Amino acid sequence: MGNKERAKERREKRRQEISLLRTIPYSDHQRWWNSETVAVVTGSNRGIGFEIVKQIAGHGVTVILASRNPSAGIEAAKSLQELGLSVVFRQLDVLDTSSIQHFAEWIKQNYGGIDILVNNAGVNFNLGSENSAEFAHLVVNTNYYGTKNVIEVMIPLMRPSPLGARIVNVSSRLGRVNGRRNRLGDVALREQLSDIGTLSEEIIDRTLSTFLRQVEDGSWASSGWPQVFTDYALSKLGVNCYTRLMAKVLSDRPEGEKIYVNCFCPGWVKTAMTGWAGNITPEEAADTGVWLSLLSDGMPTGKFFAERREINF
């Protein structure tokens, strides 16, 4: 058996294990949520986000389906409401700070706060296209700054509870700081981003602004950045680092006011964002995000997951 066959066999075995995990009812754990529990899922009118909404709502949670496109969002929410799920649409453009602020004000007026925030809104890599300054800015601004800006505005609305509120960020293995493939060539920068003791928002922002500046002047390719889907990888590296940082910042909160922050890689998914070229379904891809949203026993924070397993940043 060759390497490809063995890898395929391992993937299939792991898929079977995940399928088994997904059959375990959440009621076997401590069920801390009810119909008054409120979750927000950004960028969720289709694909992974839509599946996350569907699955969380399927467990009896009220879910706000947030989408930049109103018509697509309304249609997506309607399709889930017809299944008897408690899903409400609200427009949200993560690139627009005023949209984020208006969204937060609407949440406060209508629900008082939220218990779960899943940051799914994002732009994928540009299949078959060279890295351009315009697209690099769009990817980084959406995936990293959009996620960060939503978190900053929503944190004051995260409701106190004995088991804590949850923030789950959809990320990617392509953004791993210390991955064996596609990692940063700058060892000193890699060490800076890996050291949670000294990691700061300023370091993360500076890394991404340096990359964008070098895309603009054409020097990025020789500067030690990841060579595969570079703009997307850097945006998700930012998400991963920010996840760890926020988990640390929020870790000092007293019991009852805890906010747990984690991220996960959904894998190579068959969606419009990948040109339908993935090898797993949106339903499978959503599972880890839903699991992190509803987990009650031994809730982690500042961790990176794939297929319900912790992986290295």
Residues 90 and 43: their CA atoms lie apart, in Å, by 11
Phi, psi of 74 (to 5 degrees): -60, -45
CA nearest to 108, candidates 123, 93, 90, 96: 90
Residues 147 and 161: their CA atoms lie apart, in Å, by 23
CA 106 to chain centre: 22
26 is catalytic: no
CA nearest to 243, candidates 268, 228, 222, 262: 262
Residues 114 and 154: their CA atoms lie apart, in Å, by 8
CA nearest to 238, candidates 207, 211, 196: 207
CA nearest to 149, candidates 194, 193, 104: 104
CA nearest to 122, candidates 53, 47, 226: 47
CB 241 within 8 A of CB 200: no
Catalytic option among 144, 145, 232, 242:
232
Catalytic residues: 232
